Amino acid sequence: MKKVITLSLSAVLIIFMTFVYIPGNIRAETVDMEADTEILEQGLAGLNLRVGSGLAVGFLRMNIGDLNDLLEEDGFPALDRNVFLYGAGAVAGRVEGDRLGAVYRRGSVDSSTDGNQAGLSLNYAGLIYERGREVEDRENTDIALGLMGGIGSMELYWSYI
């Protein structure tokens, strides 16, 4: 849990430094120019920013055939290879450009027969880097390609009842 908290705080710090602190300390000399009325009319849409967070769900199909064989040899039920994942995520960056974010997911699968129970739980967290692009013919739609690096854990548990 300490690793997840540390990872989350690191992501928030990186996003803060990138979008708040660094641009505020950059100074440039500019020539007086007339305001572009088209940009002003667009308001925040003219800033080309994308910020989002919320709940997320996922689906993981695991290759656990060998694990199920071992469980069945010892009298435990086989585990389903499909796991429903849930968690939260956040991303911030440019619509046309780089984005940074963080994600956390967890899920578990359980089974029981004849008083024997077996289960597998997993969770992971990571930092996300995306490169986004607007879709030309659709308003307020963009597409992104990205990478995620992170940490996770998996726990197998069983019990005789």
State the first-to-last Cα distance of the chain, in angstroms, to the nearest integer: 30
User: Is the pLDDT score of 1 beyond 80?
Assistant: no
Q: Which residues pair with 112 in a beta bridge?
A: 117
Number of domains in the chain: 1
Residue range 29-59, pLDDT digits in tens? 555 555 556 655 555 555 677 788 899 898 9
Name the pLDDT band for 96 (thresholds 50, 70, 90).
confident
Position 16 scores a pLDDT of: 62
| Phi and psi at residue 74, to the nearest 5° | -95, 10
β-pairing verdict for 116-134 and 49-61? unpaired
Contact 3, 151 (CB under 8 A): yes
Domain ranges, residue 75: 2-160
pTM of whole model > 0.85? no
